[in-house]
Amino acid sequence: MEAAPRSMEASGPAEVAAAAARRRAQPSGWWGMALLIATEATLFACLIATYYYLRFNASEWPLGGIEPPAVVLPLVFTGGLLAATIPVFGSVAAAKRGAAGRAWWLLTMATAIQATYLGLQIHLFAGDLNTFSPQENAYSSIYFTLLGLHHAHVAVGLALDVWLLWKLARGITNYRLIGLRAVALYWYFVNVAAVAVVLTQLSPSL
Amino acid sequence: MEAAAPPASRTRTERLGRIWEEPPGVLGWVTTVDHKRIGILYFFTAIAFFFAGGVEAMLIRTQLIGPNQATLDPATFNEVMTMHGVTMIFFFVIPLSLGAFGNYLLPLMIGARDMAFPRLNAFSYWVYLCAGAFIYVGLFSGNAPSAGWFDYVPLASKTFSPGPGIDFYALGLLFVGISTTAGAINVIVTIFKLRAPGMSLNRMPLFCFAFLAVSFALVFALPALNTALILLELERLLGMHFFAPAFGGYPILWQNLFWIFGHPEVYIIILPAFGIATSIIPTFTRRRMVAFPLVALAEILVAFLGFGVWAHHMFAVGLATATTVYFAAASLVIVIPSGIQLFSWVTTIITGTPRFKTPLLWIVGFIVLFIIGGLSGVMFAAIPFDQQTTDTYFVVAHFHYVIFGAAVFPLLGGMFYWFPKVSGRMYNERWGQASFWLTFVATNITFFPMHLLGLAGMPRRDYTYPAHLGWSGYNLIETLGAYLLGLGLLSVAANLIVSLFRGEPAGEDPWGGDTLEWSTSSPPPEYNYAVIPTVSSPYAMWDREDREADEANLEAGRRTLEAGHETPAGTVVDGEWDEVLEMPSKSAWPPLTALAISAIFAMVILQLWLSAAIATAVLLLVLAAWHGREPEEA
Amino acid sequence: MVSPLDPHSPDAHHIATLWWWMLVVAGIVFGGAVAMLVIGWLRRDRPGLPFLGESERANTTLVVAFGMAIPIVILVALFIVSDLVLMQETDAPRASETTMTVTVVGHQWWWEVRYGNSRAATANEIHIPARTHVRLVARSADVIHSFWVPELNRKIDMIPGQSNSIELYAEEAGVYRGQCAEFCGLQHAHMAFRVYAEPPAGFREWLAHQEQPGTEPAGAEARRGQRLFMENACASCHTIAGTEARGTVGPDLTHLASRNMLAAESIENTPQELFRWIQNPQSIKPGDKMPGLGLGPARFHAIVAYLTELR
């Protein structure tokens, strides 16, 4: 019974990989992130439900003669965000195998893609703001709120990436691997939310 | 054997005591991450809010003691009425259940040494305190919200409530929601991961099932409220439109979002009380709960089904008939798991050999009041009847029976039940029984006439009423009942306070309790268990062989985890030992983070956007610092 | 009396009857549960069930029977009777089932009442012909209110941007009190109204009279009062048909003197009370939107003299 490992003492790529391989259940940190994702996913679900509630009670949509959104760029950018999943996944897999250096570079690559995505999306967002304002009517309000909340989640994800890169640059420990796994989980959620949000946002044009 | 050599067990307990020692003084309490201290902090804070909500109730009842009174003008009445609801629900009953009882007892009941995330636990408390202070700053600065605890739009929009009161409401609830969400996540992960190795899910006490169900319900219900509050504040502070018909919005959108949260919320309020009842009943009837698996399943079903019934709060709104009928049917379905639990409790009482001491009296009172509240609740599922009595005092009667009678009575019973464990002393039994009867009778005098008052046509939330409609007599009785109820509750408090200083020493297990906390000293040592307990059933204390195994393990140094600040983690379903966790011991970051968040909310309500952005950046830095020190360095 | 248990329409009768049956069943359930608790107390020294002794199977069967089986039967019965049968009967009427429509618009804190295509507009008093199926359309001009006449039917919320309807049918002529039943702000407690159910001929006569423009003032003081009404803020909020007063913020006053009560059932419609009301509205309904104009007693008396002639 006492042979249960003290995984938290694991430090250095090999020890950390061994601790991760030995573990049978998901660590507490992973569960914490999973449950946080549950609340955030529910928040997005409520906002998307609000969008459709307002839409199906309206006689025309978009309201107030606002142009339906352009389709191509948002879909392309979202594709780019989804593509970042590959280096994220790769980073976790590498760390679990003990390839800490490769994990760090893969995370850096993912961060670069995600940051580019956010920058481009903010550019589009600013362009939208020049065309119509959130205060015009319920359509514009829910449009900007839904998109804005999504971008805020991406920004938080980037902050998590930066923090993790800084930590991992100083070596890998059990704690930091769990952190990497939790952040990866967060990005998988953000990706799913991105698809749901962008499809909703573009629905008048689809 | 020479008397000089200390037994190995005492050496171990002393070492554990040194490892887990809490720092002394105020600083020790501010930086604590110990679940028991956090539970105590929650307790006293929640009781303070109970007192505030109680004063608000007394003011309401005094204003309504007779027709056309002028104790409170309508503006003040509307503020007091709103603050009463908000305080009792968000700042008293949930923090007391989850924060005080949950925090203190869950690790003890599952044989762990702390919650899964001790620093997050402390953070939850400090955020709760700051959020409560935030909303009461609103009250004391003359800016209390006044649109009722469910804050319907358009009344709550900027047009009809121009002052900052509603912003204090919405931002205050978003604020406290952070605490509640963190608490719920902590409870789930603790129950999943930190159970003593060998405690598979079906060997977990019913109290834990109730708290697991509650926490999942919170995780999925709070976001609906948060959505509504965010949309409301985007409307009020940034001029967006979600609810105003002139701009394509819908007032009913608010109601839907609010009640998608609000209905699960009422099951969230009552489930911990069910958990407490299922702890007290086996102990005092000296037998295991009848139909344990059915009760556990029923607790989870209530939480789950509670998500499908929200529009029964909206039967008078003009929804489509089919929609209305569906929600009535769903509401009737929930009666079944409640009925199963009720009859299981009653059958356990009949088939056991009950000792009607104070804790069990509160539970019997709870059962009676829950039945009355439940019956009036079932009546509301008859849609045409609901459409006559909704928004009248009939509803006020119903929810006070289920919230005060069915949620608070077990909390009071739980206070008496666990008082010996937490304080090490016994309360006065005769005084306890007397104050139970006083409170029980006063509860009925206060709230029963409200059924009749509603059937006599008095709407709710009226700051006064005319003399000639036959409502005055009921109101007078209710007010006198309320005063008596206040006395009853003060009597409960006085007993516990006096006993804290003068009560008889209680010993480890004055009741012959069924769950693990009764195996520790009273109060428990900082490390809870010198030996991680061996468990074969949900009634761990009644399994003598396991408790003897613990003593042997202590001597031999098995399952003692003395190498550091440690507790075991296991697999989710079977509780097989997976790893040993190193727990943090104290930290200033949780209260500092709560302060950083307070700064953000303060800047938002003052509409100082740049300062709010700066405060957000500060928050991110504080969070990074919190996670700067990793567990193995602790 | 203003109770749902004092029904004066078929719908209200159905609901009241439903209540009494539900009370009987609830009483039996409650009595049974209390009896079980008393048995628990009486048998506190003996384990097991009476007659059946100690048997976990018997215990579980009891729990399933009382906690699940019997409730299912009762609840299904309740559902069928109240949510399927009764709902059909008390559901909102279609326009084709009714012979007239009355539209009520809720304001903070008064009721605007219009009658089908008629020109007439009243406030805080609704007249309907007795024994007639009236379709009551409920709307709101500002926040959510709720229209409720307990003796005649269930309540229906008045939601801005939406039109809801219920049936209003009075079995016999009489006066029925109603009150706002959705919290709507400072004077929610003083937002009540009356429904006068009249014999159909009397109703038609009343409606025809209400369509007439406001009476021209007779005496000197009343003429002075009319002039003051038009020159001051009164005319910008109130309508008096046939004059230049066309305001729609406050109630229509064309036939004010024909009403029994003022300020949404708060005070009686007498010259003294009317004077008190317009001189200092905040003293009767604090927070009300009618401002005190500070015109002085003599001018207010003149205005009262004019208003009391608007029969």
Domain closes at, from C210, C239, C270: C210
Q: Domain for residue C35, yes or no?
A: yes
pLDDT digits (tens, 9 = 90+) for A75-89: 999 999 999 999 999
pLDDT band at B7 (very low <50, low <70, confident <90, very high): confident
Residue B2: the pLDDT is 46
- Shared domain for C130 and C75, answered yes or no, is no
User: Is the pLDDT reported for residue B320 higher than 60?
Assistant: yes
Q: Are residues C119 and C205 in the same domain?
A: yes
Q: B385 and C79 in contact by Cβ < 8 A?
A: no
Whether residues C204 and C101 share a domain: the answer is yes
**How many Å lie between the alpha carbon of B431 and the closest alpha carbon of chain A?**
44
Question: How far, in Å, CA of B423 to CA of B504, rounded?
Answer: 11
Within an 8 Å CB–CB cutoff, is residue B578 touching chain A? yes
Mean pLDDT (whole number) for B602-626: 96
Of C210, C235, C268, which residue sits at a domain end?
C210
Q: What is the DSSP string of C37-48?
A: HHHHHHTTTS-S
Is the same domain home to C132 and C190?
Answer: yes
Strands, E assignment, A69-145: none
Sketch the domain layout of chain A as residue ranges: 45-54+66-205
A 10 A CB-CB count for C49 gives 17
Domain that holds residue C74: 10-89
Asked if residue C5 belongs to a domain, the reply is: no
Q: Does any domain span residue C4?
A: no
How far is residue B509's CA from residue B517's CA, in Å, rounded to a whole number? 9
Which positions in chain B touch C3 (Cβ < 8 Å)? 455-457
Cβ of residue C21 closer than 8 Å to a chain B Cβ: no
Confidence of residue B634 (pLDDT cuts 50, 70, 90): very low
The Cα of B440 is separated from the nearest Cα of chain C by a number of Å equal to 15
Query: From the CA of B554, how many Å to the nearest CA of chain A?
Result: 13
Say whether both C38 and C83 belong to one domain: yes
pLDDT at residue B5 above 80? no
C300 shares its domain with C231: yes
The answer on C109 and C197 residing in a single domain is: yes
Write down how long chain B is. 634
Question: Which comes out higher in pLDDT, residue B371 or B632?
Answer: B371
Residue C94, Cα to own-chain centre: how many angstroms? 21
Segment B182-203 mean pLDDT: 97
The first and second tokens of residue B301, run together, are 């079903």
Neighbours of chain C (3+ CB pairs under 8 A): B
Who among C30, C46, C75 is closest to B335 (CB)? C75
| A134 and chain B in contact, CB less than 8 A | yes
Asked whether residue C147 is assigned to any structural domain, the reply reads yes
- Residues C74 and C113 both lie in one domain: no
CB contact under 8 Å between C161 and B245, yes or no, is yes
| Interface confidence: ipTM more than 0.90 | yes
Q: For position C260, which CATH number holds? A: 2.60.40.420
Domain boundary pick from C89, C120, C142: C89
Confidence at A9, pLDDT banded by 50, 70, 90: confident
CA distances from A24 to A21, B110, B157, B577 (A): 8, 20, 52, 9
**Using a CB-CB distance cutoff of 8 angstroms, which residues of chain B are in contact with residue A7?**
579-580
Residues C170 and C229 reside in one and the same domain: no
Is residue C295, in this structure, part of any structural domain at all? yes
**Total domain count, chain C:** 3
Please name the residue of chain B whose CA is at the shortest distance from the CA of residue A167. B628
Decide: C159 and C184 in contact? Cβ < 8 Å: no
C54-82: average pLDDT: 93
pLDDT tens-digit series, residues C76-133 = 999 999 998 888 888 777 778 888 999 999 999 999 999 999 999 999 999 999 999 9
C84 shares a domain with C142: no
**Token pair recorded at residue B266:** 């009422």
The residue among B227, B253, B600 with the most chain A CBs within 10 A of its CB, best to mutate, is B227
> How far does A6 lie from chain B, in Å, by closest CA?
5
CB of B154 within 8 Å of a chain A CB? The answer is: no
Q: Do B463 and C189 touch (CB under 8 A)?
A: yes
| 3 state DSSP class of A178 | helix
Interface with A, mutate which of B174, B240, B257 (most A CBs under 10 A): B240
Same domain, C132 and C46: no
Subunits in contact with chain A (3 or more CB pairs closer than 8 Å): B
Nearest by CB: B457 against C4, C15, C186? C4
Nearest-by-CA chain C residue for B383: C83
Q: Given CB atoms, is B510 within the 8 Å cutoff of chain A?
A: no
The answer to whether position C3 is within a domain reads no
The pTM score is: 0.96
- Residue B189 to residue A31, Cβ atoms within 8 A: yes
A43–B227 C-beta distance less than 8 A:
yes
Percentage of residues of chain B with pLDDT beyond 90: 95
Cβ within 8 Å of B, C 119-148: 142-144, 146, 148
DSSP-assigned beta bridge partners for residue B550? none
In CATH, what number does A45-54+66-205 get? Answer: 1.20.120.80
Nearest to A100 by CA among A5, A153, A34, A168: A168
Nearest-CA neighbor of B378 among A66, C22, C262?
C22
- Alpha-carbon span B390 to C154, nearest angstrom: 9
C85 & C100 share domain: no
